Amino acid sequence: MHSKPVLALASAFLLTACGPGDDGPIDGEQDCTAALLTGDLVITEVMANPEGDDDGNEFFEIYNATGSAIDLTGLVLEKASVDGSSAKTHVMSETIIEAGEYLALGGVLPEFRAEYIGYGYADDLGGMTNSGGQLGLRCGDVEVDHLFYGEAVSGHSQGLDGNITPDHLANDSIENFCPATTEYATGSYGSPGVANEPCSIVVQTTCLDNGTERDVIQPEVGDLVFSEFMPNPDAVGDEVGEWFELVATGSFDLNGVVAGNDPESPKINLTDENCLAVAPGDRLLFARSTDASVNGGLPAPDFTFSFGLSNGGATLFVGVDETVIDTITWTGSSAGESTSLDPALESAAANDDEANWCDGKTPYGDGDLGTPGAANLPCDTSGMCMDGDTLRPTNPPLAGDVRITEFMPNPAVVSDTNGEWFEVHFASAADLNGLQLGKESDPALVVSTTIDSVECVAVDADTHVLFARKTDPLVNGGLPETNIFPSGFSLGQTGAGTSFNIFVAIDNALLDSVDYLGGDTSSGVARQIDLADIVCDATDPYGPGDNLGTPGLPNGTCP
């Protein structure tokens, strides 16, 4: 990508360059923390001519080519024109780049950087020259990498061919770069922070199997099946949190496999000198980012991609050579929930029907729902719950085993909004999944809250469970922190003589209910129901202050 005489001149110039806005050598430069060698970091992408305003939108990307995380503290970023003029530098502050990770460095203040920019160097390097220029990375006296980039295409970054393992020698050739075609922001094309798209498609015919060369075993139609995808993450931005999953239904190699939105323009091309063998049942996770701290807490992805998955509907395909192995189309998505194929229908034919897909149900990482890299739940999980890693039938509570035993409609230490609660005793072990709560059971149930969880919400026999307006003991008057759930409604305490009701039910069948009158309870005093169904005031204090009751504990006998 450059001639040696120009490189020598440029390198010498950059090594003696002045600091940004300074007329002398870099003053007080922080030592480079890592003992980097040439090639440990590789410049892989340059956005020198963003669409519209260049300020704050230029970036270049580096890759950690080592097998360990690198602390970039003290690494010097260098920029100059092709002839070595307009040279500027920036000394990086503490930033970690993991092994095999990509990091986009942007000309923007750190606090204003987009999610896909991993580090902001403000305007210290000035603007990049659209007609071509050079970038460098220096650690002490070591030139870690140096790059000449060519004339920029407006709105398109120049990316090192995604088929090439990033290398400080490979990026010396301009022929190994091409304009990006993947849109990462409106009117801007590139792959900041993730692997680049291929510049051309390679159909790999041989690979090394434990050091021995053999023919690549190509997958056939239906051997790879789309089983789950997340186009609309809620915990993080789409540009870092999108992902999709493929399940293998046969034994073959991934070498040469392509994927993307359009078979005429693949965005992924899997190549490796070693055989990428898979077996039936293997799940392959493709993600926009491999960094769990920014991608929503995904498990380690197998591969990355740079194109977007449209929230409102789009197409995904996977293939090899000119053969499409599987394709799916969707017409919409739910925020924060993956689109998950029913595991009983994992085939290239069945996944063509949107009716065979459903929203993900299991929380992962930072709270979005789905099972990335793991088996999906059935789309119909009614009457089922997850007990650890096992889906099992729920054990619903039975009538006669459930009694409302205490209620506090008029707390004194905290407000009613924070401190109301009622207690339910479960005589036998049960799952609370599907338990219904409300305050009007006659003539018909009016359900206010249903315990809806894909995880089994199990309670042991002889357990007192609390349903409270707030579950935080710092605001609810000091209620116990175990076996407590949000009630979701006010118990009501206005108007003397006004009748109130509390009930618990399952599948719209009443388990127990209690009636009481407004004004019939003293401030800060719970009403207890003993084993003889006699109702009386509680006398034992709980929490801070003078509230009386035995929340979560057995009641005494009423006088």
| Structural contact between residues 426 and 401, judged by C-beta atoms closer than 8 angstroms | yes
Tokens linked to 401: 């085993």
pLDDT digit string, tens, across residues 33-64 = 999 999 999 999 999 999 888 888 999 999 99
- Region 286-315: mean pLDDT is 92
Same domain, 159 and 31: yes
List the beta strands (DSSP E) in 378-498. 384-387, 390-393, 402-408, 421-426, 430-431, 435-438, 447-450, 458-459, 463-468, 484-486
Looking at residue 360, which CATH number applies to its domain? 2.60.40
pLDDT of residue 521: 75
Range of the domain at 506: 402-537
Tell whether 185 and 219 lie within a shared domain. Answer: no
The most distant pair of C-alpha atoms in the chain lies apart, rounded to whole Å, by 101
- Between CA 353 and CA 551 the distance in angstroms is 50
Domain stops at, among 129, 156, 189: 189
Assign residue 83 the CATH number of its domain. Answer: 2.60.40.1260
For 197, phi then psi, to 5°, come to: -75, 160
**Residue 300: both structure tokens together:** 């380690």
* Residue 556 placed within a domain: no
Quick one: pLDDT at residue 494?
58
Q: What is the pLDDT of residue 423?
A: 98
More confident residue, 47 or 17: 47
In this predicted structure, the answer to whether residue 10 has a pLDDT above a threshold of 70 is no
pLDDT for the residue 53: 83
Looking at the fold, whether 309 and 181 belong to one and the same domain comes out as no
Distances (CA, A) of 460 to 8, 134, 463, 483: 75, 68, 6, 10
- 366 plus 410 within the same structural domain: no
| pLDDT score, position 163 | 84
Among 181-185, 464-468, 554-558, which range has the highest average pLDDT? 464-468
Task: Measure the CA–CA gap between 549 and 551, rounded to whole angstroms.
Answer: 6
The pLDDT score that the predictor gives to residue 15 is: 39
Is 197 among the domain residues?
no
Which of these, 550, 514, 513, lies nearest to 535 by C-alpha position?
Answer: 514
Q: Are residues 287 and 371 in the same domain?
A: yes
In this predicted model, what pLDDT tens digit does every residue of 469-519 receive, in sequence order? Answer: 999 999 999 999 999 999 999 987 655 567 888 999 999 999 999 998 876
- Shared domain check, 285 and 244: yes
Phi first, then psi: what are they for 62, rounded to 5°? Answer: -125, 155
How much is the pLDDT for 440?
86
Same domain, yes or no, for 185 and 210?
A: no
Give, in order, the Cα–Cα distances in Å from 25 to each of 16, 17, 522, 534.
7, 6, 78, 88
| Parallel, antiparallel or unpaired: strands 303-304 and 283-287 | parallel
Encoded amino acid at 242, one letter: E
CA distances from 531 to 306, 403, 514 (A): 64, 10, 14
What is the Cα–Cα distance from 243 to 227, expressed in whole angstroms? 11
Are 56 and 170 part of one and the same domain? Answer: yes
CA distance 192 to 102: 8
pTM equals: 0.66
319, 437: one domain: no
Comparison of pLDDT for 202 and 24, the residue scoring more: 202
Is residue 426 over pLDDT 80? Answer: yes
**Cα 400 from Cα 217, distance rounded (Å):** 63
Whether residue 510 is contained in a domain is answered as yes
Tokens 């409300």, located at residue: 438
Span 122-132, mean pLDDT?
Answer: 94
Q: Which of 148, 163, 189 is the last residue of a domain?
A: 189
Which residue carries 């449209």 as its tokens? 310
Alpha carbon 136 to chain centroid, angstroms: 33
Which two tokens mark 3? 């001639």
Domains in the chain: how many in total?
Answer: 3
342 and 442: one domain?
Answer: no
Quick check: is 295 in a domain? yes
210, 181: one domain: no
Decide: 82 and 134 in contact? Cβ < 8 Å.
yes
User: What are the angstrom distances between the C-alpha of 123 and each of 46, 56, 193, 203?
Assistant: 16, 8, 20, 42
pLDDT for 1 equals: 37
Q: What's the Cα-to-Cα distance from 108 to each of 56, 120, 240, 403, rounded to whole Å?
A: 4, 5, 19, 62
36 and 150 in a single domain? The answer is yes
Contact between 511 and 397 under an 8 Å Cβ cutoff? The reply is yes
Mean predicted lDDT score pLDDT of the chain: 90
Measured between alpha carbons, how far is 9 from 157 in angstroms, rounded to an integer? 26
530, two tokens: 């003993």
